[in-house]
């Protein structure tokens, strides 16, 4: 393993025995949800992975060391901490050199997962092309990472705070397969439907495992987006979320929020505007993705 990476004992054991492992990100804990729901979710998600036959590896940087798998106390630290950096690809060398603590986004988690040899990663939603691209030029580093790093990202699609059609166009340009799981439509995180048909559809974890094997065994490097619709009983209706998103976007503009602060700000405001309903949906969908991620990792290990 690289001199920068520490494996949690359980993850090292899983590698040694060939047991399936699922990577989990930490930005969703430190910057994506409020305490204590973030801690409860992080713990539940790890348990969901275990219940479906795989070992969870939550990824973060602590004191400049890249951690693949966190202890319960470390998980709690990332849920409570207020001085934790949000790390995408560009920030990793800074966090290492300055011995910082940082939570990893989808892009940084993919990088560390790949370096550790983990092929499946479950999260809530990926970053994407933001609305009003022409003036913000805000495209998440997650998309570029998906273009080159060979990890499958199980998510509930992209949030409607983003421009979903443009996000799908950009993923096509980058050569990233986008698969909807058990449905024709690309999900929009809080909502089951986005109005956009997904480019590809697969219906079982086994089919997804076979798809991933074909891509990577043929040498086609890069990530894969697996869009898993949010559980119907917790998903929101488009009308319930549209107004919250529009208000949050207006507020972000008024407060001149930009760069890495945009997504955490929008998530927090949407939670307030929906009186916690969006947070409930968020928790349910991350857990749903962890279950599917584990099932895919198990199918790949066969």
Contact positions vs Mn ion (CB under 5 A): 138
Binder among 124, 157, 230, 293 for ligand PSU (CB under 6 A): 124
| Cβ distance to Mn ion smaller for residue 123 or 150 | 123
Residue 291 makes CB contacts below 8 A (sequence gap 6+) with 48, 49, 51, 52
Active-site residue identified among 25, 46, 145, 185: 25
**Is residue 27 close enough to count as binding ligand PSU by CB under 6 A?**
yes
Q: How far apart are CA 52 and CA 296, in angstroms?
A: 10
CB of 141 to ligand PSU, least distance (A): 6
Of 4-12, 24-32, 192-200, 205-213, the segment contacting ligand PSU by CB under 6 A is: 24-32
Q: How far apart are CA 214 and CA 220, in angstroms?
A: 9
Active-site residue, 159 included: yes
Residue 145 interacts with which of Mn ion, ligand PSU, none, CB < 5 to 8 Å by class: none
CB of 4 to ligand PSU, least distance (A): 20
**Is residue 273 close enough to count as binding ligand PSU by CB under 6 A?**
no
CA dihedral 280, 171, 140, 37 (to 10 degrees): 20
**Is residue 291 close enough to count as binding ligand PSU by CB under 6 A?**
no
96: burial class by Cβ within 10 Å (0-12, 13-18, 19+)? Answer: middle
Q: How far apart are CA 70 and CA 206, in angstroms?
A: 28
* CA angle centred on 132, ends 238 and 259, rounded to 5°: 100
- From residue 68 to residue 107, what is the string marking binding to ligand PSU with x (rule CB under 6 A)? -------------------------------------xx-
Of 63-71, 134-142, 192-200, 211-219, the segment contacting ligand PSU by CB under 6 A is: 134-142
Active-site residue identified among 46, 119, 159, 185: 159
CB of 37 to Mn ion, least distance (A): 24
**Is residue 248 close enough to count as binding ligand PSU by CB under 6 A?**
no
CB of 91 to ligand PSU, least distance (A): 11
Structure tokens at 100: 């910082």
**Is residue 228 close enough to count as binding ligand PSU by CB under 6 A?**
no
**Is residue 32 close enough to count as binding ligand PSU by CB under 6 A?**
yes
Q: Which residues bind ligand PSU (CB under 6 A)?
A: 25, 27-28, 31-32, 105-106, 124-125, 127, 140-142, 260, 262-263, 267, 282
Query: Which residues carry out catalysis?
Result: 25, 159
């Amino acid at each position: 393993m690289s001199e920068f990476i520490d494996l949690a004992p359980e993850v090292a054991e899983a590698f040694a025995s060939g047991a399936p492992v699922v990577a989990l990100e930490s930005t969703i804990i430190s910057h994506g949800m409020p305490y204590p729901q973030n801690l409860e979710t992080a713990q539940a998600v790890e348990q969901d992975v275990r219940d479906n036959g795989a070992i969870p590896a939550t990824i973060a940087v602590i004191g400049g060391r890249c951690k693949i798998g966190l202890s319960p106390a470390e998980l709690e630290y990332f849920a409570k901490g207020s001085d934790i950096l949000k790390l995408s690809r560009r920030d990793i060398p800074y966090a290492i050199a300055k011995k910082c603590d940082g939570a990893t986004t989808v892009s940084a988690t993919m990088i560390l997962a790949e370096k550790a040899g983990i092929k499946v990663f479950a999260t809530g939603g990926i970053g994407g092309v933001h609305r009003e691209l022409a003036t913000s030029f805000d495209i998440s580093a997650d998309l570029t990472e998906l273009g080159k790093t060979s990890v499958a990202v199980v998510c509930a699609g992209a949030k409607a705070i983003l421009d979903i059609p443009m996000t799908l166009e950009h993923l096509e340009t980058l050569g990233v397969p986008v698969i909807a799981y058990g449905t024709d439509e690309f999900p929009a995180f809080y909502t089951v439907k986005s109005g956009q048909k997904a480019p590809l559809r697969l219906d079982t974890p086994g089919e997804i495992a076979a798809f991933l094997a074909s891509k990577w065994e043929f040498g086609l490097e890069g990530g894969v987006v697996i869009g898993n619709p949010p559980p119907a009983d917790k998903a929101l209706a488009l009308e319930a979320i549209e107004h919250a998103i529009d208000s949050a976007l207006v507020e972000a503009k008024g407060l001149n929020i930009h760069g890495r602060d945009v997504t955490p700000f929008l998530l927090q405001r949407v939670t307030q505007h929906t009186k916690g309903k969006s947070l409930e949906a968020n928790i349910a969908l991350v857990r749903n993705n962890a279950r599917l991620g584990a099932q895919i990792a198990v199918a790949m290990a066969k």
